């Protein structure tokens, strides 16, 4: 029975990843998604940090995108690769946590998580630390983080 359960869990994980890859491959880049490509392509690293004040965004996403431009010829592929990598990182963190498997699958297929796995926006970079801290067992750290987050907003 354990072999069948492990096989089923592996098959379910592969299915979730295939859904994400299929959605990302056939997703046409929207104008606001292309805006990140333009920002990362036109500005240097220092300008990305100072320009984030104007945009109101965390500079992590454009900086990581600019680094990926060194490895990818196609800028749209770099953007999709970055987004898929973040989604898979969240998936891996949840699979390695103590969260029940069915909750992990439901969370990864939920609308906001799966949507931002396909739609290339910087919001997915915020989901990683929040999802990890929610699963972290030390409640004091969670309260400190959430307090900092709400005060910074």
- State the Cα–Cα distance between residues 136 and 54, nearest whole angstrom: 34
Counting residues of the chain whose pLDDT is more than 90, the rounded percentage is: 4
- Per residue in 74-116, pLDDT (tens digit) is 988 888 888 888 888 878 877 877 777 877 787 777 766 777 6
pLDDT, position 153 = 44
29-85 pLDDT, tens digit per residue, is 877 778 878 888 888 888 888 877 776 667 777 888 889 999 998 988 888 888 888
Q: Check residue 129 and give its pLDDT.
A: 66
pLDDT at position 16 over 60: yes
pTM for this model (two decimals): 0.74
Q: Collapsing DSSP states into helix, strand and coil, what is residue 56?
A: coil
Question: What local confidence, expressed as pLDDT, does residue 138 receive?
Answer: 56
Instruction: Give the phi and the psi of residue 91 in degrees, each rounded to 5.
Output: -60, -45
What is the pLDDT averaged over residues 133-150?
60
- Distance of alpha carbon 48 from alpha carbon 34, whole angstroms: 16
């Amino acid at each position: 029975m354990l072999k069948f359960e492990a096989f089923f869990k592996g098959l379910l994980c592969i299915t979730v990843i295939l859904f994400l890859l299929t959605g990302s491959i056939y997703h046409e880049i929207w104008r606001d998604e292309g805006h990140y490509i333009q920002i990362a392509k036109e500005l240097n690293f220092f300008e990305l940090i100072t320009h984030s004040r104007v945009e109101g965004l965390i500079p992590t996403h454009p900086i990581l995108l600019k680094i990926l431009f060194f490895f990818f010829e196609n800028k749209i592929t770099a953007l999709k690769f970055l987004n898929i990598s973040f989604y898979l990182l969240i998936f891996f963190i949840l699979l390695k946590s103590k969260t029940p498997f069915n909750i992990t699958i439901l969370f990864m297929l939920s609308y906001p998580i799966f949507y931002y796995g396909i739609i290339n926006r910087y919001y997915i970079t915020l989901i990683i630390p929040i999802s990890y801290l929610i699963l972290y067992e030390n409640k004091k750290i969670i309260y400190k983080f959430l307090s900092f987050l709400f005060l910074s907003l």
